[in-house]
Amino acid sequence: MDVVAIVAALGLAFVLGVSDAANASAALVVSRAAGWRTALAFSFVFHALGALAGGTAVAVTVSSLVHASPHVLPSAYAAAALAAVGFVTVAARRGIPASATYGMLGGLIGAALVAGGFGAIHWGGIRDHRPVGVVGALIGLVVSPVLGLVCGAALRGALTRVLRRGTRRFLGPVRGGIWVAAAFVALSDGANDGQKAMGLAAATLLATGSLDHFRIPLWVRAAAALVLALGTAVGGGRVIRRVGTGYFLAGQVSAAGVILAAAVLGAPVSTSETVAASVVGVGADRHPRHVRWAVVAETLSAWGITVPACAALGALFYLCARLIG
């Protein structure tokens, strides 16, 4: 089951990459700073770099969400990753913007409940200003888009005041800023999302005795970084284009700052959700009618059902895994 758990974790990395693809590349294309091929290649490289150099704080948080006997942990991790991958894949085919991070968390909760009841879940909270356990992760998931929205609106207002009297000579610096912002987003996405898969894989290796203490082996980090980056290469900008396309510079910079801060603190946030919220904040700062609120409501509804749906799938997949062996 340990092999299945690691493969499932890498599958989660791929799905996270597909979801991340638009975060960094859409702004380059919409602003005509680059074509899709160039933008996706750029996204591939910087997502991989972010995952390779992103640290371990998020991975530690993910690995500590379930407290159960070592012999059941690989099955729980495999079930959680498969639940997230399955739900998000089906949702994407139906045009529903589900979050793989929410799915992973829901899958872990469902699998842990079946494996050992409420005592198998590390509920946690906030400790030393850092998120701990399931409650801490949920706080990060809720707070990050709110911060992204507020920061996006504030930065858009500041940029508007600076560029209000700008002429064509500002075009070059602005496009250069979009490249820098896209790199910042991709690095931040890679640092946060890559560690989710790394955390599940490393925790599986620890539970099976392949590691004597928690750490991320180089091959795990490299594999997760590569698969995450491949996901960004095959992903598209469909979801984020539905929310808004004209405000990426301010939206990306603010979202990337929030995501990177979360990675440092160890909060496994939904990167796509944070970027989308930042874009909404930028659009709403200009005028509320510039945001497709019906799409925002649909997106929020989809995220709201992801945790319970994946919890049910995680529980089901865990039972199947234990029956198989």
Which residue type, as a one-letter code, is found at position 237? Answer: G
User: How far is the C-alpha of 307 from the C-alpha of 255, rounded, in Å?
Assistant: 23
DSSP 66: B
Query: pLDDT 10s per residue in the chain (325 long)?
Result: 689 999 999 999 999 998 877 777 777 777 777 777 888 888 899 999 999 998 899 999 999 999 888 989 999 999 999 999 999 999 888 877 788 999 999 999 999 999 999 999 999 888 887 888 999 998 988 888 888 888 887 877 776 666 666 555 555 666 677 788 888 889 999 999 999 999 999 999 999 999 999 999 999 999 999 999 999 888 754 444 444 444 566 777 788 888 889 988 898 888 877 877 777 777 666 666 666 666 566 667 667 789 999 999 999 999 998 888 6
pLDDT at 160: 67
User: How far is the C-alpha of 173 from the C-alpha of 238, rounded, in Å?
Assistant: 27
C-beta atoms surrounding 104 within 10 Å: 34
> Token digits for 250?
């301010």
> Token digits for 106?
């829901």
pTM exceeding the 0.85 threshold for the entire prediction: yes
User: How far is the C-alpha of 158 from the C-alpha of 164, rounded, in Å?
Assistant: 10
Report which of 38, 45, 37 is spatially closest to residue 17, judged by C-alpha positions.
Answer: 45
Q: Which residues pair with 125 in a beta bridge?
A: 132
Return the domain boundaries, the chain: 2-324
